[in-house]
Amino acid sequence: MALSTHTTTTGFLLPSIHSQAAFFTQQVHPGSLLTQTDAWITLILKYARHRRLFTIRVEDCEAPGNEWHEVLRNERINRKLLPSYLSYILNRMVSDKVAAYEPPKQDRSVLIYWRLPEEWAEILHEWVTSTGNLNTIMTFYEITDPPIETQLSGLPLPLLRQAIVILSKTNRAQIIAIAEGEGVRFFQSTGKT
Amino acid sequence: MHRLNGVGLAGLDRHSESTRSYAALSSSLSQSQIRHLESQLTIRADANFRHKFTQMCGSIGVDPLAGPRKGGWWAELMPGFGDWQYELGVQVVDVCVSTREKNGGMMELAEVVRLVTEEDIIRCIKTLQPLGAGYQIVDLGDGRKMVRSVPKELDSDQAVILALARQPGKFGKITEEELVEEKGWTRQRAKGALENMLIRDGLCWHYDRVYWVTSAMQWD
């Protein structure tokens, strides 16, 4: 009966609030709702980082057995998040700039920024530099699906594209048309940012 | 002072010159004050003495911890805020210095919090009253006290609910039935009080007809 933390099968430590029945009900008082939604956003970002998940959909709280199952539901207290509240949470995440609707022009699915695009841009540039790939043309595939797993493995294309755009603003990357579609060339940091 | 400075580059130079001297003077003053303060505090003073000490510092415009500058925007807007910070600061110094022999100068934060006594906290909260944000100690009547930080009056029914929800085994959970059975309230009274706390005051969360008082909820 007492609220306590819980370690899931994937090794994620759920906070005590997750075993609070009311946590799954969208609260009416604006102050309560703000606090509650903040707690949900923190939880979603932490879990996404833990499992390297990049997408969450409103539908994820309905279909059982998906990758968000153990966060969006608590079977020990027989509660689950309702689609209407998850939709509200995703909207808040987008306005807080910790997520973006992807694809754009719909509001059922978001790309989660458990690292901001700016942070991905730096990680990308450091990786390219450390692997000696500066000034060579790379395909997007070579970055997101390298033979040996890296921090960038599995990075969704829209996020990769955003990171490259950020780097190109400081003249550290340039998108180039190549035979297979699109490629990118990275340059050394000029020191002028 | 501005009129004495004159205009042009020379005036600007003179101005920054005097700013520098003031800064040097103020830092040497604060350093000697800190040394003085430290020697005072090695004799463990009681809460009452500390209070008098900070009051005295305040009245002569001395900042005992060389903390936030006096007379700034905050001080003007919220008289009493500076005092509160000094008071808390002095208490922390006091606790740290008086236990230094035992812990070698390293102290767990939770231990500091424990040693700054309830009495000190109550006094601090009283000095926060000019903020007008509702800071007040609410006595639940069963030996427990809560700190209120919302500018709302807590009516007596709400106090009863808070006390009941915090009883061992309840974990913040409360229902209309419990209030009817355990407190002999009518159902309307119970419903009204709970709904006020839920919708008007944001003092509890709900799931169906079950309410949880947020001050008793566990988050982490």
Q: What is the pLDDT of residues A100-132, one digit of tens each?
A: 999 999 999 999 999 999 999 999 999 999 999
Say if A1 falls within a structural domain. Answer: no
Domain-located, residue B42? no
- For residue A178, being part of any structural domain is answered with yes
Q: Is residue B75 less than 8 Å (CB to CB) from chain A?
A: no
- Which parts of chain A sit beneath pLDDT 70? 1-2, 190-193
For B36, B93, B116, the CA distances from B43, given in Å and listed in that order, are: 12, 12, 16
Q: How many independent structural domains does chain B possess?
A: 2
Residue showing tokens 């800064």:
B23
Contact B200 A29 (CB under 8 A): yes
Residue A110 β-bridge partners:
A56, A101
Cβ of B205 within 8 Å of Cβ of A20? The answer is yes
Distance CA A146, CA A171 (A): 24
Nearest to A21 by CA among B80, B207, B19: B207
Asked if residue B55 is part of any domain, the answer here is no
Q: Domain boundary residue among A93, A112, A131? A: A112
B142 lies in the same domain as B164: no
Same domain for A124 and A94: no
Interface residue B212 vs chain A (CB under 8 A): yes
Check whether B7 has a pLDDT greater than 60: no
**Does residue A178 share a domain with residue A127?**
yes
The span from the CA of A24 to the CA of A86, in Å, is: 10
Q: Is B193 exposed, middle or buried (0-12, 13-18, 19+ CB in 10 A)?
A: buried
Helix residue ranges, H only, B61-116:
73-77, 81-98, 100-103, 109-115
Q: Do A27 and B210 touch (CB under 8 A)?
A: no
Give the Cα separation of B220 and B215 in Å (integer): 14
Domain boundary among A71, A93, A112: A112
Residue B62 confidence (pLDDT) above 70 = no
For residue B139, what is the domain's CATH number? 1.10.10.10
Q: Tell me the two tokens of residue B160.
A: 């009863």
Q: Is A163 within 8 Å of A124 (Cβ atoms)?
A: yes
| Residue B53 falls inside a structural domain | no
pTM above threshold 0.80: no
- Give chain B positions within 8 Å (CB) of A42: none
Q: In terms of domains, do A57 and A127 share one?
A: no
At residue B168, the 3 state secondary structure works out as: coil
A15 contact B CB<8A = yes
Domain of B132?
A: 69-151
A100 & A38 share domain:
yes
Enumerate the residues of chain B whose CB falls inside 8 A of the CB of residue A2: 171
Number of domains chain A is built from: 2
How far apart (Å, rounded) are the C-alpha atoms in residues A150 and A142? 11
Answer with the one of B151, B183, B207 that is the final residue of a domain.
B151
Q: Using CA atoms, how far apart are residues B178 and B168, in angstroms rounded to an integer?
A: 14
Note whether A23 contacts B: Cβ–Cβ < 8 A.
Answer: yes
Domain span holding position A157: 117-186
Of B136, B151, B166, the last residue of a domain is B151
In this prediction, residue A58 carries a pLDDT of: 96
